[in-house]
Chain A
Amino acid sequence: EIVLTQSPGTLSLSPGERASLSCRASQSVSSSYLSWYQQKPGQAPRLLIYGASSRASGIPDRFSGSGSGTDFTLTISRLEPEDFAVYYCQQYGSSRTFGQGTKVEIK
């Protein structure tokens, strides 16, 4: 089973700042099979990025994904108040696994 490790666990930033979230896989993951989700308290996860770098429908262009192999990054270019949330990466290989999440909190 491929294990995804996200870092940092918590990111404390101010609105307007740039956020870079890391997702590292224990084995190589096809870029086609790496996605990112946002979850706010009491809400279901929302798809942000699929195929490592493709934005889902309706997702603002301040969200971008990059990476390949075992290292992937979600970047939020300028944090808006509504972007403070928990972010999960997810892979599909022999099975489907999620990272443990990165919380982006207001500094």
Chain B
Amino acid sequence: EVQLLESGGGLVQPGGSLRLSCAASGFTFSSFAMSWVRQPPGKGLEWVSAIGSSGDSTYYADSVKGRFTISRDNSKNTLYLQMNSLRAEDTAVYYCAKCRGPSCSYFDYWGQGTLVTVSS
């Protein structure tokens, strides 16, 4: 059974940093691209970032480019999202998602999410 378990969310002040983790199990982690998708409270879904299976290709939404860094450790079956220079508009539930299709064109499994709140 595929499982994705996010952690690392919490309350952070504007301008601060946070690192999210996603522990994966139930599939060969090193064979799949992975992604982060976020959802502000009461709002819709927004794709944030994706990373290729080996970690050598990374992609970002314009809204987070230059502030967020996606990475992975295939030896630990773990995906990360380093978030710097956080803003109030980054407040959201952050989901880890397993990619499928050409170039991570869709997401077949999702974690339960971790809430990030950016507020003073």
Known: A35-B106, A44-B113, A98-B47. A92 touches B95 (CB 8 A): no
Interface size on B, residues (CB 8 A): 25
Instruction: Name the one of B44, B59, B105, B107 contacting A33, with C-beta atoms under 8 angstroms.
Output: B105
CB pair B111–A92 under 8 Å, yes or no, is no
Specify the chain B residue showing the minimal Cβ separation from A43: B112
Is A19 interfacial (CB 8 A cutoff)?
Answer: no
B contact residues around A51 at 8 Å (CB): 101
- How big is chain A's contact interface, by range? 20 to 34
- Residues 64-102 of B contacting A (Cβ, < 8 Å): 95, 100-102
**Count: A-B pairs, CB below 8 Å:** 67
Contact pick for A44, options B44, B95, B102, B103, CB 8 Å: B95
Chain A nearest CB from B17 CB (Å) reads 25
A85 CB-CB contact with B under 8 Å: no
Give min CB distance, A50 to chain B, whole Å.
Answer: 5
A18 contacts partner chain B, Cβ-Cβ < 8 Å? no
Q: How many angstroms from the CA of A39 to the CA of B111 in the assembled complex?
A: 13
A92 adjacent to B44 (CB under 8 Å): no
Given contacts A45-B37, A47-B107, could you give 18 more A-B pairs where the C-beta distance is less than 8 Å?
A: A1-B62, A32-B102, A32-B105, A33-B101, A33-B105, A35-B105, A35-B106, A44-B110, A44-B111, A45-B45, A47-B106, A47-B108, A50-B101, A57-B108, A90-B107, A96-B35, A97-B47, A98-B44
The interface of chain B, by Cβ under 8 A from chain A, is: 35, 37, 44-47, 50, 59, 61-62, 95, 100-113
Instruction: Report 18 cross-chain contacts, Cβ distance below 8 Å, ordered by A residue.
Output: A1-B62, A33-B101, A35-B105, A37-B45, A37-B107, A45-B37, A47-B108, A50-B101, A50-B108, A51-B101, A90-B47, A92-B101, A92-B106, A95-B47, A98-B44, A98-B46, A98-B47, A99-B44
